[in-house]
Amino acid sequence: MSNGTKIHIESEPYPWPFDGNLKPENTCIIVIDMQVDFCAKGGYVDSMGYDLNNTRAPIVPIQNTLAFLRKHGFHILHTREGHRPDLADCPANKRWRSKQIGAEIGSKGPCGRILVVGEPGWEIIPEVKPLPGEIVIDKPGKGSFVGTNLDLILKTKGIQNIMLAGVTTDVCVHTTMRHANDMGYECTLLTDCCGATDPKNHDAAISMIQMQGGVFGTVTTSEKLIASLSKVFETRETAGEKKPLPEP
């Protein structure tokens, strides 16, 4: 993408990013918590009795989006939620709540100890696993900035724009988006690349983002993202420009 060229993705409630400064070097996708514990049989969400179809729905759209963004040199980041084996970083109220709903954090389940670092349930599902060199942020809570070095990594790499994907839309994805917005990052949520344990919560989270002219950023779909950027890259490649690749 040539210097000075403004690029926008069709999104609501305004074209994203707001300033049109979109290029692989300053833009990333964060794929949040696509782990066995949230997306697979025997994990945390399954143990709570929720329909896994809701949290697995984003898998194919995420796969398509990652393939496109990797091809064109965008930054790719992933997150995992989990606690130390001694649970020293698990707040008492969080552990108590999980026990009340039959899936106590740290207890043994079909996929090992629930939400514990290093256990099978903590791993990212193979369908969207990180490639070598892609950064994985390990976090102890819902947001991706609290208790992590994510902000330092983004600033060091010069990232200004964040695309969000993963689960769950209304909890970890939304918390991350809100924090990122407060910190000055320009965010868009890929609606088909996210999922919630309750579809009504997914829809409500998407609606909230669009209030007040885009209070947390914008929403779009993977299809709109890929279609918009494909036109840009086709035009650029016709003109003979080279694709810049971000540092690993």
Q: Which H helix or E strand runs over 167? A: strand 161-167
Asked whether 85 and 117 are in contact (CB, 8 A), the reply is: yes
Catalytic residue among 33, 37, 46, 170: 33
State whether residue 248 is helix, strand or coil. Answer: coil
Asked whether 114 and 47 are in contact (CB, 8 A), the reply is: yes
Tell me if residue 33 is catalytic: yes
Give the separation between CA 107 and CA 84, rounded to whole angstroms.
Answer: 13
Tell me if residue 200 is catalytic: no
Asked whether 170 and 208 are in contact (CB, 8 A), the reply is: no
Catalytic residue among 37, 46, 139, 193: 139
Please, which residues bridge with residue 79 across strands? 32, 137
Catalytic residue among 111, 172, 193, 194: 172
Asked whether 55 and 197 are in contact (CB, 8 A), the reply is: yes
Cα–Cα nearest to 177, from 194, 197, 192:
194
From the CA atom positions of the chain, what is the Rg in Å? 18
Residues acting as catalytic residues: 33, 139, 172
